[in-house]
Amino acid sequence: MKKADLYATLRARILDLSLAPGGALEETALCETYGVSRTPLRETLQRLAGEGFVTLAANRGAAVSSMDLPVIRSLMQTAPMIYAAIARLAAENTTPAGINVLKSTQRSFRKAVEQADAGQMAIHNHRFHEAIGEMAASPYLMPSLKRLLIDHTRMSQRFYNARTRAEQKTIRSACDQHDAMIDAFVQRAPAHAVALTLDHWALSRDGIERFVAPPPLPLDPTQEIKDAV
């Protein structure tokens, strides 16, 4: 496997939770799995570490970046500020090329919504917000946005795995919000773009809260069996 393909594969597996947060990345096993030597593997892990996907520690090797309580708390505190600032700059720095990327990504996202493909929804949503960051063109905010999107995308796997009609409706609302955000960028309306972005974040925030605190178990453990009969 080429180094670029190895990078893309590991990145995707981290984002879709195939590689669990905090899990060790054992070099020998990875080399055997992907048919690479240690040198390109280590170079790939260093690149992923520089982007925030992986942590490297002396004498302990590589591990997938964790999503422990401090990480989640930091995400909840800083995400709305970063997303809002990025949206404002994107609306002020809108370019035809940037809008074309957003529209193309949104078409892919909407197709994933129609197919109820949670993994693809998460990936295309990641790309959508990354494209907004690229249009914002801030050398200071972009690194923060990219790091934020890693954890947001991993946590959003639960959000996009809709189990009820209400959750499916929420996903459709998020999809429609993407279109409204694109319109705000086209119109170069920073205040409107920020308001839409914060509303959009509110939907994700609720999904993240469910990820952190799943529904309680039934008081009667046999109730679900009774209901199914």
Compute the average pLDDT of residues 4-8: 94
pLDDT tens digit sequence for 29-78: 999 999 999 999 999 999 999 999 999 988 788 999 998 888 888 889 99
Q: Which domains does the chain have, with CATH numbers?
A: 3-64 (1.10.10.10), 69-212 (1.20.120.530)
Q: Which residue has the higher pLDDT, 224 or 51?
A: 51
Confidence of residue 220 (pLDDT cuts 50, 70, 90): low
Containing 61, the helix (H) or strand (E) segment is: strand 61-64
Average pLDDT over the chain reads: 91
Rounded to whole angstroms, the Cα distance separating 41 from 87 reads: 36
- Are 109 and 14 in contact by the 8 Å Cβ rule? The answer is no
pLDDT of res. 216: 66
> Given this model, what pLDDT does residue 222 score?
58
Q: What is the pLDDT of residue 41?
A: 95
Helix (H) or strand (E) holding 57: strand 54-57
d(CA 90, CA 185): 7
Bigger pLDDT: 227 vs 200? 200
Tell me the longest C-alpha to C-alpha distance in the chain.
59
- The residue with greater pLDDT, 128 or 203, is 128
